[in-house]
Amino acid sequence: MLPLQKKNHLFLYTDGLSECMNEVDEEFELERIIPFVQLDKLSDQSAMIDSIIAATVEFKGIRAYNDDITVLSCQIQF
């Protein structure tokens, strides 16, 4: 169980995002995801997700996706 603070953000994704591969067999990995989900970018979650997907498109180049990608971004306030 995780204690909630006044403002929380939950960001979940499947391995298809982090394991997206480029033309030289490098994976997208967590290090490329983290800058998109930093606190100053969480106000527009839709734009954040669009940016992440656009980054994978650019990263993979002409290579096809090797897995499906699912992303869930949720802000919890009370």
Mean predicted confidence (pLDDT) in 52-78: 93
Q: Which tokens is 32 given?
A: 């490329």
Q: What is the pLDDT of residue 32?
A: 96
Answer yes or no: are the C-beta atoms of 66 and 21 closer than 8 Å: yes
Radius of gyration of the chain (CA): 14
Q: What is the pLDDT of residue 19?
A: 97
Please give the distance of CA 42 from its chain centroid, rounded to a whole number: 12
Answer yes or no: are the C-beta atoms of 18 and 31 closer than 8 Å: no
pTM of the entire structure? 0.84
Q: List the beta bridge partners of residue 77.
A: 7
In tens, the pLDDT along 9-58 reads 889 999 999 999 999 999 999 999 999 988 666 678 888 999 999 999 99
